[in-house]
Structure formats: structure tokens, C-alpha cells
Structure 1
Amino acid sequence: MGDVAMTIPVINAMIRSYPNVKITIVSRAFLKPIFHNIPNVSFVTADVKGKHKGIFGLYKLYKELKTLQIDVVADLHNVLRSKILGFFFKLGGYKVCKIDKGRAEKKALTQNRNFKQLKTTHERYADVFNKLGYNVTLTKEDVLPQLQLTKKVGVFIGEDQKKWIGIAPFAAFAGKTYPATQMEAVISKLSKTNQYKIILFGGPAEKKQLASWQNNYEHVINCAGVFSFEEELILIANLDIMLSMDSGNAHLAAMYGKKVVTIWGITHPYAGFYPFGQPPENALLADKEQYPLLPTSIYGNKYPEGYENVMQTITPQAVFDKIVEVIDE
């Protein structure tokens, strides 16, 4: 989801620079709302667990896409499925360019041989379009407009004038998830100010944890399981700030130009997955002096013994202070 959200600035830059170009996004149906209302952009569902499953299914998808009068193909994923689909297009005489994920550079970063900023994923996406012949230059304005609140979302939030803080406290792996006790301390501090409405984001597996925080603290509401993905995007687009791990919600907020504060454990912004348009000082990093091997992973799933608790070096007070600083700028 985060990878898909990171395509938005590049697609907006394409539409801005080439208003007569039609772009067709091919992805899972769940992600379609991300692309709603972008001019000249249409969406085709890749049913990879159904009719487009396997090589023969991907060939069927290729034949369906051919009818859309496609001229060139940008593979922004570069995984087995997209490679197979791209192979069919190449056989059909189409120009196909794919993303260079910089795997060797990222391996050097996580093995502590080359600790430096790598090219961002947004830049790598732009490179694909450049190779196709389109000169794409990203600007901070290449974000989506704020969405209008629906009645359902408005009723859920209420009518007070507090600023809205979104908190997405979970990630796919423990190595990049802030400890629950420390996150609760952050929520407690924010609640006690009586200045903010705190909106918790998460999936079905996290509903119980989020519900307990909602019950224990004032001005805290849990939206997990309440809305469709499309409705959650409306909510995110109207936040004043999002606090997130190195995860998809950071990128969803950034694609609407929202302020985003991120917490990083065994991963690092240098790998290129920093939310679009955010100042580097909005990233709260684990203590590299105490844990010199950081970062130990690109995706947060690998860490050496003794690195299980790196995120505890980021105090709840530091997180609270950064949120207040950024939201009041």
C-alpha cells in the first residue's frame, strides 16, 4: 500500500507536465480509491487470485490491457508478476521500462558499509518515466487535494474545533513498531493537553488494543473497522498531522500533503522510503550511537541479537514534543 501511495506525486507530476497523456494504473482492487479524481488516470484491477492468477492469467490480463491502446509500459514494481506481464508486452512490440530498486545499494546500507542517503523511491519511479521518454520533475505541489468530508466521517469526528492528530501505531514487522507502552504514554500526554482530537488507525488485528486506548483516554477515537478504505482516505486527507511508523499510513498522509511525523527503528530514511515532501527533521530515529549497526533492514524484518529494543531509545516525551512542534508550526 505504501509503495502504491508513493506513486502519487510522480503520477501528478506526469499529468502536470503532459496533460494529454492517459495513464492506466494496474493494481489490486483494494487500492483503486487512491487514484479517484486524478485527471486522465484510469484503473484496471489485476485479479491475481482469480482470473489473472498464474502465467495464463497474466496473459489474459495482457490481452485485456492491449485493447486500451497502450503505447508504453512502466513497471513500477519489478516483481515476478510484473516481469511476466512486461515480457508479454515486449513480445508484443511495446517499450517496457522497469524500476531499478537499487538492491545492491540497499544491501550495502544495511550491512553498514555505506551509510548514506540513497535515491528515494519517488525518484526511482520518476526514472522509469524518464526512460520512457517523459521528463518528470517532482515538486512539493504534486500532492492530492484535501477531500470533502462525508456526513458519516463528520458525525464520527464531531463538531469541536480541536486539531486532528492521526496515529497509526503499527507496522508489518516488530522491528519498526514503536512499543505499545511507549505509544500509550504519547497518547496520554496528547490527551492531557485537551487541545487535540486523536484518531487511531489500524487493521482488524489491532482493534482490541486501539479500543482500550480509546476507552482509557479523553479525546481519543478509534477508526479501525469503522470505515471503508475510501472513507479512511477522506479522514486522512483532513488531518492536521499524522504520526506513523515507517509504514503505509505515512505515505497515505503525505500524498495529501499532510504533515507527517515518523518513528524509525531498525529501518532508516536513507533507504529511500521517507514520506514525500516531509522535512528530514520530522523523522525520529533510534539511537545509532547505542546501536551502531543501524539500519539492519530495509523492510523491518531482520535485526541482529540485542537489537530488539532499539525503538525504546526514542522517548514518549521526544515524540510528544515533535508532534506539538510540527502541528503548531
Structure 2
Amino acid sequence: MGTVKTILVTRLSALGDVAMTIPVMKQVLDENPDVEIVFVTNRNWGALCAGIPRLSFFPADVKGIHKGIKGLYRLFREVRKAHRITAVADLHNVLRSQIIRTFFRLSGTPVAAIDKGRAEKKALTRRENKVLQPLSSTIERYAEVFRQLGLRCEMGRKPVFQPRILPGSVTAVTGPKQGKKWIGLAPFATYREKMYPLEKMAAVLGMLAREQGIQLFLLGGGKQEVALLTQLAAQYPEVIVAAGRFSLEEELALISQLDVMISMDSANMHLASLFGVPVVSVWGATHPFAGFMGYGQAPENAVQIHDLPCRPCSVFGNKPCFRGDHACMEWIKPVQIAEKVNEIVL
């Protein structure tokens, strides 16, 4: 074996985006045994890196000690002190990551950065003369950055992780699985345009809760989401609210044991994908064509309205509905979601 190459990888953003880097980094490490990766990301996401040999988690606190140019320079120095970096893979390509990679480039380290395909995404989401065709996936765009650095990375579809044994702290809430089909339901997303209306999701929950041999778990985060989920579960005593009760590590163990996940175009889709759990994903303002479908997920498990000329209207779901009626979500019938879940679990 030759000299070990240590690649610095940066992706400082939201949980879902960071989760999508994991299959790619795992593939790079599998195909390049002389490589190790130092992953600089949000200090809260360390659990995602657990159990992958030669992948080191390096926490960044961009709202605290690593804030601003001064803070990013401090981060650069901390990384260099701890590791001998031979190349930088910028999987984010925003101002912060550009500053970090510039510090490395000025010190003579080769760098490569993601091409986000902004022009083609603009063509996909514009109101007039849309170019409605599938774009390169985010997973593939990440892989291309490593190829630019001369590394092998041919993405497949195999799960990154095996199912995990549930710790006692989780089974105290969930009880044993005992042959039941476990379904996770994560109805929230960062933006309203990416969320299926909660009253309609309650109808989906009602349909699934009636089935024998099924255990439903409600997932989410933050006080407001936990309160809404608790309200939702009150009508169905057999539904368990898992939101707000576990660490990320514990939640990943629970997700790994699910038979299916119902999720929006949001983080839980990507977390479930790491374990090869089938996801029934619900799409409104955004579209799988933009490249954010969960890793290895079957396109036919995406629930969406196909004949709406305004879809998709944005890449991230962060633009208000210009029609004002949220037809892309409102027109999806609860039974469409429930039937898709039943196809997988029954």
C-alpha cells in the first residue's frame, strides 16, 4: 500500500444534505484503500459517520467559534494541525466552504468543488418553457468531485449500513418488534411548500393505524413539531411519538429497523436511505428530477401530481406558491400514500 492520502471533505449544511454525502464517502473509501477522509460538517451530525473505517468526523461550529472569516481561518488551522491534508473536496460550494478551500489552495493543496448545475435547475423550475427532464443526482454530483481528485467512485445502490440493534433506551419506548411491520411517518419539512397538509396526513395515519400487525412511529424534531405530532397521535393510542425522545444515534437505530418510511422531500428520506429502508416520499413544489431523491430509492415510490404544469416551482421548496392553492400537495389523496405503503409492507 502506498502513501495514505487524506482528503478533507466539507459540507456544512442541513442534515439531509449531509446524509447524502455518506454513501459517496463510503464508496470512495471502499474503492480507494489508500485514502482516509476527514469530514468537516455541523457539530451535531457526528452520528452519521459512526461505523465507517477511515472516516473521521471533524465538528464545525460556524455559529460559534468558527463564525466569519476569522473563525473559518481558525477551523482551517485546527484541521491542518490535526491532519495532513493532501486534497480538499468541497461538496457544498457556498461562501463558507469556498473560503476554507481557498486557505488550503493558497497553502498548495489541490481542491475540487461540486458543480450544482444551477442553470439546468433554473430551466427545470422556471414558470415558462420548463425543461422537464431528470438532472444529475446530488449523489452523482458529489461522486464527480472525488473523481476530479483522481479517485475511483462508481456509485451503486447498496445500503451504506446494516440494520442496528436497538439500544435499551429505544426499546423502552418502542417495545420489541415481534414480527410487526414498523412504519415511520415524518410529515415535516423546512418549507410549507414541501409539506403534505397535516389534516390529510392524519387521514393517512388513520388508514394505516387500522391495519393489523403494524406499528406506527411519528418522527420530527423541535418543540413545535413534537407538540403537533403528540396532538396527531392522541386519536390513535397505538401510534408512538418518537420525535424529541432520542439522540440522533438512537433515532438512526430506530430508522434502521423500519420496514418503510413515509417522508417529505426532507432529511428523514435520506436517513432511511442509508439503511436501504424503502421510502414513500411525497413531493409538492419540488421534484425528484432536481436530483434530491433518496439514495437507492425506487422512483415509483414517489407520490406526486404529474400533470401540473407549474411543478416544480423551486429546487428547495423555498418559494411561495404563486397559484396560492398549493395544488401540488392538496390534490394528492391520502389513499394514494396509504396504498403505496401497503404495496411495500403487506
Give the TM-score taking structure 2 as reference length: 0.92
Residue 23 of structure 1 aligns with an amino acid whose one-letter code is: I
In structure 2, the residue matched to 1:26 is: 40
Q: CA deviation at 1:281?
A: 0.2
Q: Which ranges of structure 2 fall in alignment gaps of 5 or more residues?
A: 1-14
Alignment partner of 1:244: what SS?
strand
1:187 maps to 205
Comparing 128-137 and 210-219, the one that deviates more:
210-219
Q: Distance in 1 between matches of 2:116 and 2:317?
A: 17
**What's the offset of the Cα at 1:231?**
1.0
2:229 to 186, 210, 217: 210
- SS of structure 2 residue aligned to 1:136: coil
Q: Equivalents in 2 of 1:21, 1:237: separation in Å?
A: 28
Counterpart AA for 2:189:
A
CA distance in 2, matches of 1:61, 1:320: 47
From 151, 155, 159, give the equivalent of 1:138. Answer: 155
The one-character-per-residue Cα deviations of 1:73-130 (angstroms, maximum 9, x if unpaired) are 0000111100000110010000010000011110000015210000000000000000
Q: What CA distance in whole angstroms lies between the structure 2 residues aligned with 1:209 and 1:41?
A: 37
Counterpart of 1:55?
69
What is residue 12 of structure 1 aligned with on the other side?
26
- Residues 197-241 of structure 1, C-alpha deviation per residue, up to 9 Å, x if partnerless? 000001122112111222211421001111112111111111111
Contact 1:213 1:220 in 2 (8 A): no
Match of 2:102 in 1: 87
- Of 133, 139, 142, the match for 1:122: 139
State, as a whole percentage, how many aligned pairs show the same letter.
Answer: 46
Q: Paired residues, what number? A: 326
Within 1, Cα distance between the matches of 2:76 and 2:237? Answer: 52
| Distance in structure 2 (CA, Å) of the matches to 1:6 and 1:218 | 34
Partner of 2:114 in structure 1? Answer: 99
Over the aligned positions, Cα root-mean-square deviation in angstroms equals 1.2
Could you tell me which residue of structure 2 aligns to residue 43 of structure 1?
57
* Counterpart code for 1:169: P
SS at match of 1:7: helix
Q: How does 1:236-251 map to 2 (within 5 A)?
A: 236-251=255-270
Partner of 2:253: 234
Aligned-partner Cα distance in 2 for 1:326–1:142: 17
2:292 aligned with 1:313, yes or no?
Answer: no
Structure 1 residue 307 displacement after superposition: 4.4
Gaps of 5+ in 1: none
Q: Does 1:147 align with 2:164?
A: yes
